Amino acid sequence: MCDGLSSATMWSVGWEALRQWGDDAVRNEPLAGGHNDVWSVRVNGHLAVGRLGARSDADLAWETGLLRHLERAGMTVPRPIPTADGRLFADGLVVVTYLDGRPPETEADWRRVADTLRQLHRSTRDWPQRPGWRSSTDLLSAEVGTKVDLGAMPPDGVARCRAAWARLIGRQRCVVHGDPNPRNVRLTADRVAMIDWDEAHVDVPDLDLVLPHNAADLDEEAHDVAAQASAAWEAAVCWDDEYAVERLAEVRPV
């Protein structure tokens, strides 16, 4: 997935916010992957992960509130670590617990991931939409939602994306992780942890279930609907980099 970046100068200044997690809080080294400024940090003597970005307070409140809810529901997710005065984020910075593990590799691994994603979906029915975001079916009429601007896409591409999303009309919505690729999954023998919730929003669960080996056991029609809708979503949310162009090419003409 993709995300807008601010200048390197802003990041340098912004990391001063880490002091709000205590005088001993330190930034260690950058973590690979993604488009946010993500570093390993040490807070209260423990290894953690800090993510600095330009999201609004309302957006970060939604994300951190979701993570706390999912942990209470029994899922393994990064736990937001509060500042010294009890806030879950400060000046665009969020600090969460570090989760170790390996990425999924085998069909059995991906079936565990599918079960975890379905637990997420069951636990978040009727969850409010992330501030400023739109779901795929909302974009059948809306043109803009957070990182999506359909006005920037070629009209034929918009028509193809909307045709794919129209097949989702009437389905129940819930929180989707939004980017369940191997980098965002940490497996151990006894648990599956989902990390990097920056793309999470309320949408149709199908978007999370296009997995290797068809691990979610979708039938042929359901898999086609999900795969087309997912490709359309990633094309729209990342437009117009090379990856987005490749994903749009997978969406069938109207």
The secondary structure of 15-42 as a DSSP string is: GGGGGGG-TT-EEEEE--SSSSEEEEEE
Q: Is the peptide bond before 240 cis (omega within 30 degrees of 0)?
A: yes
Domain count, the chain: 2
Average pLDDT, stretch 12-34? Answer: 86
The fraction of the chain above a pLDDT of 90, given in percent, is: 88
- Is the Cα torsion angle 50, 51, 56, 62 positive or negative in sign? negative
pLDDT tops 50 at residue 10: no
If pLDDT is split at 50, 70 and 90, which confidence band does 14 have? confident
Which residues 6+ apart lie within 8 Å of 247 measured at CB?
231, 232, 234, 235, 238
The whole-chain average pLDDT of the chain stands at: 93
Domain that residue 190 falls in: 107-249
Examine residue 126 and state whether it is found in any structural domain, yes or no: yes
Examine residue 14 and state whether it is found in any structural domain, yes or no: yes
3-state secondary structure of 44: coil
Are 21 and 116 in the same domain? no
Domain end position, chosen among 97, 129, 145: 97
Are 48 and 132 in the same domain? no
- 99, two tokens: 């989760």
CATH of residue 211's domain is 3.90.1200.10
Are 84 and 143 in the same domain? no
pLDDT tops 60 at residue 4: no
Which residues 6+ apart lie within 8 Å of 220 measured at CB?
none
Find the range with the poorest average confidence among 25-34, 202-211, 214-223, 234-243.
Answer: 25-34
Average pLDDT, stretch 169-196? Answer: 96
Domain end position, chosen among 97, 117, 138: 97
pLDDT digits (tens, 9 = 90+) for 68-121: 999 999 999 999 999 999 999 999 999 999 999 999 999 999 999 999 999 999
Q: Are 49 and 31 in contact (CB under 8 A)?
A: yes
Domain end position, chosen among 33, 63, 97: 97
**What per-residue confidence (pLDDT) applies to 12?**
52
